Each structure stands twice: as C-alpha cells, then as structure tokens.
Amino acid sequence: MNTTFAAIVASIVFCAVSYAQTPQPLNPGDAPVAVPTFHCLGLYWSPAGGAADKAVQIRYRRQGTSEWNEALPMRYNPIPKTDEDLADYRGSIVHLIPATTYEVHLALAGTQTSTNLTATTWSEKVPIGETIRVGNRDTPLAITESGTPTAWRVYDGRAATIDVRHRHDSCITVNASHVILRGFTLKGAGAANNVSRRPIGAIRIEGGHDIIIEDCDITDWGRLNPKTGFGFNMDSAILSFSAELKRLIVQRCKLHHPTYDGSTWSEPVYPTHTMGPQCISLFNTAGNHVIRYNECFSDLDHMYNDVIGGGSNGSFRGSPGHDSDIYGNFISHCWDDGLEVEGGNRNVRIWDNYITQCMNMIGNAATSIGPLYIWRNVVTHSQSKPGAGGMHFLKMGYATSEDWMTGHQYIFHNTLFRSDEWLPVGGFGGNRIVKHTVSRNNILHVRTADGRSHSDAKQNTDNDYDYDLYNGQVPAGCEAHGVRGEPIYVPGAGFDATTRIGRFQLTPNSPGAGAGQPIPNFSDGYTGQAPDIGAHQHGVPLIQYGVGAKQP
C-alpha cells in the first residue's frame, strides 16, 4: 500500500456527525457488514474507540489464496439526525471478481482492535425457472407473478415489440420479484391525453425487488406538456418510486430518442430549470442497484433533462440509492446532468463511463452520507444550449441547504478530454461549494486557463486536492504535487461513436505521464513507480463502452 496516501486519508478530519440503514445500525462491538454487487463490496463497521483521527485499514484476498491486497482506508464519519448511515466507518472494495468469496481484515489504526469477515460477490448467472415468451402487442404487459431466489422467472421478449402507440402510459409494469425482462423492444409509452405532472415510465416498477432488465431497446416514450411545448419532466424509459425496490440491474440496454424534446436552462428565459424526458429515474428506492453497459443517447431535437437520475437530492436516500454501481455506460444528450448521483450516496460507485453532450457531466449535489467514489470516467463536449458552452465535470454544491454536505467523496483518475473546443468550463463545480472531497490523478482540463479546475469558494471545507493535471485556476496551497499544463494524447486518441471504443492514453512525454500517486485498489495495472494521471493508463487495452463492454 502507498503509505503516504494512507497517511493522508487517516489525517483528514471530518465534522463529527452520525447515521445508519438496513439491515440494522451497527453499534460498537457489532460484527462488520458487507453488501456485495458483481464487482464491489460495501463495508460497514462501528468499532469501539473509533474517532476522526483513526482510520480503518482494509486488507482483502480471495478465499483460499495467501496474498493480501490493500484497499482504500475507511474514515470515521457518523452522520447526525438519521440512522441511514449504518455505521461509523463506511467504505468499498472495488474491482472484484463476480461469484467469488473474499476474506476481509479490518483494523482500527493505532489500536489492537481488528476483525475479519467473508463476503461473496454476486454471480452473473442466476438460476432460471419458468420462461414466458411474449409476442407483439399494443397493450401494456403487467408482470405480477414472482420467481424465487432459486428459480428466477424470465419474461422473454426477444423478437417481440410492445408498441402502445401513446394510448397507455407504460409498455410494461412490474410488481414482482426475482424476474428478468429480456430482449424487449418498447415504443410509444405515455398516453397523449395524460397531462398529469407525475412522470410515466415505459417500464414502470411499482414494487418488488431483485429485477433484471437486459438487452432491451426502448424509444419513443414521453408526453408533450401543452404549457411548455416540451416533454413532461422525468418521463422515463425506466422509472420507479418504490421505496422497497432493491437490487435492480439494468444492463446492455439501448435507451434512446424519446418522443419530445427537453428544454434548456434558457427556455423560455434564464434561469429556468431544464425539463424533459430521462432514460432511468429512481426516487428514494432501497438501493443496491447496478446500471451497467447501457447506451443512453439521442439527438439535439430530442434532448434529456438528466440522462440517469431521480431524487430526492436533499435527503439521506436519493438516487441511485446506497451500495449501487454505475459503470461501462455510454451517456449523451442532456441539458442538465449526464449522471445525477445525489442524496445519500452511501457507498455509491461510478466508474468507466463515457459522458458527452451534457451540461454537467456528473451531478453530485449533495452527498449527505457517502462515501461516493467517482473514478476512471471520461467526459467531453459540455454544452448548455445549442451553440453555447456548458458547465462542469462535477456539479458539486448543495441541494436546498449546506446541511446535506456531510458525506465524503473520492474523485480519482478521471479525464476531461478535449475532442473539440467544448471542454467543461469548470472541473469541480466551477466555484460552487465543495466539502469533504479527495481528488487524485485527474486530468482537469477546462476550457480556458481562466476557468476553475478546482473550486475556491469560501465555504469549502475539508478538501484535499493533489497529483492532478490541470490548466485552470486552483486554490492556493493545494496541488503540491500536481502538474500544471495540458495533456498530450497518443496518435488516434478519441472515441469512436460507431464501435463505442475509446483511447485516451497520454504520450510518454506528456505532462502527467507517470506523475500520479498510487491509490490502493484504484490505480491497479500500471508499471513503473507511479501511474499516469487520467482515466486510461498506457499499456492497457482500449476501453469499450455500452452494450459491448465488459470489466477487465
């Protein structure tokens, strides 16, 4: 493990604050808890003697092997006025192998207190029970019959189209558990005579848990708001308001071209919040979701509000929900946030996404619980309205009140890529408020040298910025090991819109090449003494996004 980085993590002092969530809040002396996904474990522990100046060190290994690996230490951060935090210490192990059991060792720094646990990541193969073949239809399909954990019920829509022709609000409704929706082509959701402001969903999840939506193609959804002339806000391809929904997996779907256009912040007159359709919207669900390998896109005449998002932003829940992963997606065409990850963000992990043609690439205002991890994403072409520049890589800031800014965030190895002149004008929120944030190894290439790579708002608290490559303004005293300059990419660098393959590596003589700080569990794959700054390490394969992607 890089001891310098571990020491930095251990030394950062957060506001002494406290909260918890399912299964039950942990008290000092309770056994730790692990919440798995395919590639990650969310960890929770409340050891006796925990304090802001004592980090929890993490080691892990595959069961049956001898070599231990280091993970990023966990910081003490109980949150007041809620039990949604679950434990005093929270953190994640990432880049794990599916269907694999891991041994984890946790140790409270400076003490003899330690503990062990084992946890198994999700399998990518679930046991299948009955399969129901669905044919073409022009009325909604209601899924109300559940499978079981040992016999998932498959609704097979391959070669079938459900086109409700804007006579119904949904193509499919789901109120069941352990079900798989596979291979559907869905069109025409959103009844033309429905002028309610409540969003509709081409797939609307009304209840249940353990739901997989895969290999679907959803288009032409949404309704026209007669008062605005734009699409109704948050009409979605996939939608849920269910507080019980947990373990939703959306994978290898194409969600594209809604029926109506969304408005910009200047329509009719600035400042008017954007309004319009979205691809995936989740509101205060029970979390533990995975959204991966999807393609969410459109065109300038059919723009989104956010691409993937929901609510509530100023809350201890929000979207996507705790212990959730969003990775490997191609995201484009919105007038607000490409990915809106806001609210609690307790062990929420965002990596390996390509985000383009959005105003803010990732919205993270606010993070009330955390930790939120954002790493290895590539963003480009920030635009706020036709012909006008956009905003920021990360939105940052708060939702309704600074009181929600109590969680911490880790921002590692991301790239703001210049494929044209439409770079974001700001890195971390321009000059919006930023709190409890660690930044390492990011290419923060903003549009002009007068722009802000890092915020310098007077309310900023408890931030640590270093080892970034930046060309904009940064606060005095930060980036002691950072590199001021602009990246030089290898010949042929960029993104192929046809194949969804990207190459974003630096040349060996570029500023930032070999100048990063090794981060345990996040900087794997480099050779030499230090990793490259940015999302794409030299010597590793090209990056695939969307339906053809997979984890290395």
Q: Alpha helices, DSSP H only, in 132-272?
A: none
Q: How far is CA 29 from the centre of its chain?
A: 32
In degrees, to the nearest 5, what angle opens at C-alpha 446 toward C-alphas 444 and 451?
A: 115
What pLDDT shows up at residue 389? 83
| Distance of alpha carbon 103 from alpha carbon 7, whole angstroms | 24
| Distance of alpha carbon 188 from alpha carbon 168, whole angstroms | 8
| Distance of alpha carbon 38 from alpha carbon 325, whole angstroms | 9
What pLDDT shows up at residue 23? 55
Task: State the amino acid at position 1 in one-letter form.
Answer: M
| Total tally of structural domains belonging to the chain | 1
Short-list 153, 316, 330, CA closest to 255: 330
CB 365 within 8 A of CB 336: no
- Assess whether pLDDT exceeds 60 at residue 6: no
For 304, list phi and psi in degrees, rounded to 5: -95, 160
Task: State the amino acid at position 142 in one-letter form.
Answer: A
**5 — pLDDT class (breaks 50, 70, 90):** low
Choose between 164 and 10: higher pLDDT.
164
Is 91 among the domain residues? yes
CB 377 within 8 A of CB 400: no
Is 339 among the domain residues? no
Which residues, listed in sequence order, are joined to residue 155 by a DSSP beta bridge? 132, 181
Is 70 among the domain residues? yes
CB 235 within 8 A of CB 200: yes
User: Whole domain around residue 96: which residue ranges?
Assistant: 3-120
Q: How far is CA 360 from the centre of its chain?
A: 14
CB 335 within 8 A of CB 233: no
- Average pLDDT value for residue range 416-429: 88
Is 103 among the domain residues? yes
Is 316 among the domain residues? no
Q: Which residue has the tokens 């965030």?
A: 409
Mean pLDDT score of the chain, rounded to an integer?
94
| Distance of alpha carbon 416 from alpha carbon 377, whole angstroms | 9
Helix (H, G, I), strand (E, B) or coil at 3: helix
Q: How far is CA 249 from CA 206, 366, 367, 390, in A?
A: 15, 24, 23, 31
Q: Which residue has the tokens 């000059």?
A: 431
Q: Alpha helices, DSSP H only, in 173-279?
A: none
Which distant-in-sequence residues (6+ apart) come within 8 Å of 350 by Cβ?
325, 326, 327, 339, 341, 362, 372, 373, 374, 375, 377
Is 522 among the domain residues? no
Give the dihedral of Cα atoms 361, 366, 367, 372; nearest 10 deg.
0
Q: In the chain, what are the helix, strand and coil shares in percent, each to the nearest 5?
A: 5, 40, 60
- Assess whether pLDDT exceeds 90 at residue 307: yes
Task: State the amino acid at position 205 in one-letter form.
Answer: I
What pLDDT shows up at residue 436? 98
**8 — pLDDT class (breaks 50, 70, 90):** very low
CB 187 within 8 A of CB 163: yes
- Average pLDDT value for residue range 376-395: 94
- Average pLDDT value for residue range 95-106: 98
**419 — pLDDT class (breaks 50, 70, 90):** confident
For 354, list phi and psi in degrees, rounded to 5: -110, 120
| Distance of alpha carbon 148 from alpha carbon 140, whole angstroms | 24
- Assess whether pLDDT exceeds 80 at residue 11: no
| Distance of alpha carbon 181 from alpha carbon 160, whole angstroms | 12
**pLDDT over 90 for what percent of the chain?**
92
Question: How do strand 179-182 and strand 211-214 relate by DSSP bridges?
Answer: parallel
Bond from prior residue into 320 cis (ω within 30 degrees of 0): yes
CB 156 within 8 A of CB 132: yes
What pLDDT shows up at residue 13? 33
Q: Which residues of 144-179 are buried (b: 16+ CB within 10 A; e: fewer)?
A: eebbeeeebbbbebeebbbbbebebbbbbbbbbbbb
DSSP per-residue letters across 448-504: STTSBSS---TT-BS-EEES-EESSB--TT--SS-EES---BPTT-EEETTTTEEE-
Which residues, listed in sequence order, are joined to residue 339 by a DSSP beta bridge? 308, 362
Q: Each residue of 334-368: pLDDT tens digit?
A: 999 999 999 999 999 999 999 999 999 999 999 99
Q: Each residue of 200-229: pLDDT tens digit?
A: 999 999 999 999 999 999 999 999 999 999
Task: State the amino acid at position 343 in one-letter form.
Answer: G
Is 108 among the domain residues? yes
CB 410 within 8 A of CB 375: yes
Task: State the amino acid at position 204 in one-letter form.
Answer: R
Q: How far is CA 278 from CA 217, 235, 298, 494, 531, in A?
A: 15, 6, 11, 26, 36
Look up the pTM and report it: 0.96
Is 97 among the domain residues? yes
Q: What is the CATH number of the domain that holds 95?
A: 2.60.40.10
- Assess whether pLDDT exceeds 90 at residue 387: no
Q: Which residue has the tokens 């669900």?
A: 285
Q: Each residue of 143-196: pLDDT tens digit?
A: 999 999 999 999 999 999 999 999 999 999 999 999 999 999 999 999 999 999
Short-list 380, 388, 352, CA closest to 489: 380
Q: How far is CA 545 from CA 218, 253, 477, 491, 540, in A?
A: 18, 12, 37, 20, 15
